[in-house]
Homo-oligomer: A and B are copies of this chain.
């Protein structure tokens, strides 16, 4: 069967994907656009860029980590002050050990944040020395936090939404593979261009291997990415899918990899977003329904992002059989 395709596919695999051809059955690029690769060897600290990690955390987890770190650091210093002895601190409630610890904890936090009310203050040498470094550490910590916050929200991103499915739709008397995307935030993208390639598993002398093909698109560059953009790959002689039947699409291990590049005018930076579609995400015989329309006053255009995944059935012309 798969062998059949091999016959059908006349294009030679041109793409330098960077992925080996004897790749696993899983996808090459995950839906979120990151390559489906696990790194081993080296130790985890060298293998992780903690900055990349921090930037990719959700806001909630990022803030949680900050709070937890804040509490742990204060507990640690509180413990140190407690060991040094509460007599080295003024204004401690000495009624019982717990209250003592509570007060040194609060002293620690007042030092770490440099709020330093002074109700509790260090008198002895050791306590003062530790406080000296805690305040220093506090400021450096917030310096780092400042950098992380800025790094997180100034990080250029495309803020694109891709349709969950690709559709195989009628197009100018023949058929075409289509997906669409739209910017969903108030960013201004220009000079957008898209690169689409396909990884198709074929059987070569018995063993399955993945070949990579660049897919031509009707239009691969637009000036202003303000509305949605439906990217169209016409299935003609130049397409590796030329002559594919519905079964072929279903039964072959296909992955279509999409990369979009654009220039964000607020970040003044190039932004990139990727995604991929596998066989089971391709809908045979469907076309997307329009997702934008003029406003009532007909003075502006409304883009409804909720419709991005909407499509309707569509009759396909019969794919001309390819003589083997």
Question: Quick one: closest B residue to A67, CB to CB?
Answer: B136
Q: What 0/1 readout, one digit per residue, does chain A (113-125) give for beta carbons within 8 Å of chain B?
A: 1111111011101
Chain B residues near A159 (CB, 8 Å)?
A: 49
Interface residues of A in 256-279 (CB under 8 A from B): 257, 259, 263, 265-272, 274
Assembly CA distance A297 to B227 (angstroms): 41
The answer for the CA separation of A301 and B25 in the assembled complex, in Å, is 10
Q: How far is the CA of A307 from the CA of B125 in the complex (A)?
A: 53
Tell me which residues across on chain B come within 8 A of A226, comparing CB atoms: 18-19, 35, 37
The A139-154 residues at the B interface (CB cut-off 8 A) are 139-140, 142-147, 149-151, 153-154
Residue from the list B66, B123, B224, B306 in contact with A17, Cβ < 8 A: B224
Which residues from 82 to 131 on chain A have a C-beta closer than 8 Å to any C-beta of chain B?
90, 93, 102-103, 106, 109-111, 113-119, 121-123, 125, 128-129, 131
* Whole-angstrom CA separation of A263 from B25 in the bound complex: 27
Partner of A304, one of B40, B66, B119: B40
The complex places the Cα of A157 from the Cα of B51 at a distance, in Å, of 11
| A222 contacts partner chain B, Cβ-Cβ < 8 Å | yes
Assembly of this chain: how many copies?
4
Name the residue on B nearest A214 (C-beta).
B223
- Give chain B residues whose Cβ lies under 8 Å from the Cβ of A324: none
User: Chain B residue with minimal CB distance to A70?
Assistant: B136
Q: Which residue of chain B has the shortest Cβ distance to A154 in the bound complex? A: B151
In the bound complex, residues from chain B placing their C-beta under 8 Å from that of A39 are 184, 186, 302-303, 305
Partner of A24, one of B55, B103, B144, B298: B298
Docked complex Cα distance between A225 and B28 (Å)? 12
Cross-interface CB contact of A303 among B37, B116, B119, B138, cutoff 8 Å: B37
A107 to B: closest C-beta gap in Å: 9
User: How many angstroms from the CA of A118 to the CA of B48 in the assembled complex?
Assistant: 43
- The contact sample of 21 A-B pairs, CB cut-off 8 A, is A20-B227, A24-B298, A38-B301, A38-B303, A40-B302, A40-B306, A41-B305, A42-B306, A46-B185, A49-B159, A52-B186, A52-B187, A110-B115, A110-B131, A113-B114, A113-B135, A116-B116, A140-B149, A150-B150, A156-B268, A190-B259
